[in-house]
């Protein structure tokens, strides 16, 4: 089949697919030609592995792409990008598949799946690494730890490097070594015209600035070069405390006062039925704290003492460990459904803690949480205009969520999330793009305050003027803004 016939076939298929929610026919897709033209794997709706390949992490989305292309390299990526561009077909880019808005998949479009791109080259002496973006945070972290090295990603092993890095990257080393993007030295990007670019501080510097926080708006990242740090291990793990106004406020105060070596996550939440927690606490509201001290074991134990002194721990799993042990094992069969909202706040004092606990106790959602991450440290020492992540002086990142069971349950859970979020709102109106769901244009705009938004729309206009890369927290090109 000639190229123009291929384009016509794809356009015809797209028109047909748009008339019904689920794909029923694939006869217009020249799968054999596509398989012959790329090195990767082409998965059609009739193929045995299609349902598994189209499933993403969130259980909210049950979409059926016209084709899933598990690419093998940048040349495959460029081919798929040009195909989507030429056929005007919706393009979803998948790394780990964790998008809370379902941007990792599409109904009737093309999924460009990076998960088979897992090459990793670690320069131990130079403390750098080139990593393909199909790698997960857990895979990279485990490999780097084998050399006594690390860089911070998030807090979930199965998150893909592509998504978490492009949005910022807030994890267990954030106060010591900054966001993931603060340690990004260079990248390989396939742009909307199918060109493969090397970008860094000196080459396509505007694009390099934009991808550090601007998400997947500007192209498909195929490789990243990271700066690594020596890290033999951490003192860290789970600390479960009773949740009272004093313990919640005290936890945040101690996290804020701690040295940069300590990064924490305080999940004020319904206690899951974890085997190391006494059964009488299951379902009660607790602080499930995740703590990581990137320093000596002796100093780490001292850093944990103020948290342990807040109350008699319900469970204490904090100990010296390898850094990869901070990432809990993933359940690939777990596909949660949750209403959520993310924001920044300036402080969590006793009054704010009371507000959180009042709302948590008033809900009957089987799982509900206010997650609190104290920032500062290395994050705050980067100028606000150095990257597209401009929230350098934001103090505490908050994520409010309530899990729901079935679509009829969602409105009530979302209403509870919105009510608590509004009650917590303080002077910081910003938000973190990686935690956004289907929040709408106003919240996307809040992720990029002031001049940051204007710069991003200009970069978008230059590298993706037709907005091919729109399945993301979308930044519209400047000419159409």
pLDDT tier at 334, thresholds 50, 70, 90: confident
Is the predicted pLDDT of residue 6 greater than 60, yes or no?
A: no
Surface-to-core class of residue 367, CB atoms within 10 Å of its CB (0-12 exposed, 13-18 middle, 19+ buried): middle
**Spatial CA neighbour of 144 closest among 134, 131, 163:** 131
> DSSP H helical segments within 135-178, as ranges?
137-145, 161-167, 174-177
**Residues facing residue 374 across a β-bridge:** 396
- Sequence-distant (6+) residues with CB within 8 A of 159 are 96, 98, 136, 137, 153
Helix 350-362 crosses helix 410-424 at what angle (to 10 degrees)? 170
Residue 480 — very low, low, confident or very high, per pLDDT cuts 50/70/90?
A: low
pLDDT at 158 over 50: yes
Chain segment 114-123, per-residue pLDDT in tens? 999 999 999 9
Residue among 325, 396, 387, 383 nearest 150 (CA): 325
Report d(CA 77, CA 220) in Å as an integer: 8
pLDDT digits (tens, 9 = 90+) for 414-426: 999 999 999 999 9
CA distance linking residue 2 with residue 22, whole number of Å: 28
Q: Which residues on adjacent β-strands are paired with residue 209?
A: none
CA atoms of 314 and 304, how far apart (whole Å)? 15
Cα–Cα distance for residue pair 303/280, rounded to 1 Å: 29
The answer to whether the beta carbons of residues 175 and 354 sit under 8 Å apart is: no
SS3 342: strand
Q: Are 344 and 430 in contact (CB under 8 A)?
A: yes
pLDDT, tens only, 86-142: 999 999 999 999 999 999 999 999 999 999 999 999 999 999 999 999 999 999 999
User: 392 CB contacts (<8 Å, ≥6 apart)?
Assistant: 379, 380, 381, 382, 383, 384
From 106, 98, 343, 83, select the one nearest 193 (Cα to Cα).
83
Q: Tell me: pLDDT of 5 over 90.
A: no
Q: Is 125 exposed, middle or buried (0-12, 13-18, 19+ CB in 10 A)?
A: exposed
Q: Kind of pairing, strands 262-270 and 196-200? A: unpaired
pTM for the model stands at 0.93
Percent of the chain scored above 90 by pLDDT? Answer: 91
All domains of the chain in start order, with CATH: 3-113 (3.30.43.10), 120-230+450-464 (3.30.465.10), 234-441 (3.40.462.20)
Q: Are 112 and 139 in contact (CB under 8 A)?
A: no
Q: Which backbone phi and psi does 320 adopt, to 5 degrees?
A: -65, 135
* Residue 372 tokens, joined: 């609190």
Please determine, for residue 354, whether its predicted confidence score (pLDDT) is greater than 80: yes
Q: Which tokens go with 198?
A: 């090397």
Average pLDDT, the chain: 93
What integer pLDDT is reported at residue 378 of this predicted model? 98
Q: CA dist 374 to 167, 254, 446, Å?
A: 18, 10, 20
Which pLDDT band, with edges at 50, 70 and 90, does 329 fall under?
confident
Query: How are beta strands 285-293 and 368-374 bridged, if at all?
Result: unpaired
Confidence band of 455 (pLDDT split at 50, 70, 90): very high
* Three-class SS state of 234: strand
Please tell me the predicted confidence (pLDDT) of residue 479.
Answer: 80
Please tell me the predicted confidence (pLDDT) of residue 28.
Answer: 60
Task: List pLDDT tens digits, range 20-45.
Answer: 333 333 336 688 899 999 999 999 99
pLDDT of residue 470: 98
| Segment 356-363 mean pLDDT | 98
pLDDT at 60: 92
The model's confidence at residue 3, banded by pLDDT at 50, 70 and 90, is very low
Contact 14, 66 (CB under 8 A): yes
């Amino acid at each position: 089949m000639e190229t123009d016939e291929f384009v016509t076939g794809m356009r015809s298929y797209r028109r047909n697919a748009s008339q019904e929610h689920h794909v029923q026919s694939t006869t217009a897709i020249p799968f054999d030609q596509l398989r012959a033209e790329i090195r990767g794997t082409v998965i059609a709706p009739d193929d045995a592995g299609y349902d598994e390949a189209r499933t993403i992490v969130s259980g909210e989305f049950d979409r059926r792409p016209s084709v899933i292309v598990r690419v093998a390299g940048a040349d495959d990526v460029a081919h798929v990008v040009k195909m989507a561009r030429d056929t005007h077909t919706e393009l979803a880019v998948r790394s780990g598949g964790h998008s809370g808005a379902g941007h990792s998949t599409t109904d009737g479009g093309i999924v460009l799946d990076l998960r088979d791109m897992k090459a990793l080259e670690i320069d131990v002496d130079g403390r750098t690494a080139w990593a393909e973006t199909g790698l997960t945070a857990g895979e990279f972290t485990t490999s780097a730890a084998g050399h006594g090295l690390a860089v911070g990603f998030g807090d979930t092993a199965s998150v893909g490097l592509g998504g978490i890095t492009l949005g910022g990257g807030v994890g267990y080393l954030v106060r010591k070594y900054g966001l993931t993007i603060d340690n990004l030295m260079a990248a390989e990007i396939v742009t909307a015209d199918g060109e493969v670019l090397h970008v860094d501080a000196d080459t396509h510097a505007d694009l390099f600035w934009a991808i550090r926080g601007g998400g997947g708006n500007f192209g498909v990242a195929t490789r990243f070069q990271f700066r690594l740090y020596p890290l033999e291990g951490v003192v860290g793990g789970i600390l479960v405390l009773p949740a009272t106004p004093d313990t919640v406020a005290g936890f945040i105060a101690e996290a804020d006062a701690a040295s940069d070596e300590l990064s924490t996550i305080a999940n004020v939440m319904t206690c899951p039925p974890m085997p190391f927690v006494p059964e009488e606490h299951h379902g009660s509201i607790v602080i499930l704290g995740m703590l990581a001290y990137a320093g000596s074991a002796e100093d780490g134990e001292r850093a944990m003492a103020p948290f342990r002194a807040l109350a008699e721990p319900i469970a204490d799993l904090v100990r010296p460990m390898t850094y990869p042990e901070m990432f809990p094992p993933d359940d690939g069969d777990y596909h949660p459904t949750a209403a959520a909202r993310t924001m920044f706040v300036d402080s969590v004092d006793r009054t704010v803690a009371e507000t959180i606990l009042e709302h948590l106790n008033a809900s009957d959602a089987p799982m509900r949480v206010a997650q609190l991450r104290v920032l500062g440290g290395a994050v705050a020492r980067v100028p606000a205009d150095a990257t597209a992540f401009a929230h350098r002086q934001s103090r505490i990142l908050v994520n409010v969520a309530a899990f729901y069971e079935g679509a009829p349950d969602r409105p009530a859970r979302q209403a509870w999330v919105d009510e608590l979020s509004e009650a917590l709102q303080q002077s910081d109106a910003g938000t973190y793009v990686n935690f956004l769901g289907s929040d709408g244009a106003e919240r996307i705009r809040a992720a990029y305050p002031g001049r940051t938004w204007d710069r991003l729309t200009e970069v978008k206009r230059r590298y993706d003027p037709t907005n091919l890369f729109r399945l993301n927290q979308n930044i519209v090109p400047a000419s159409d803004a």
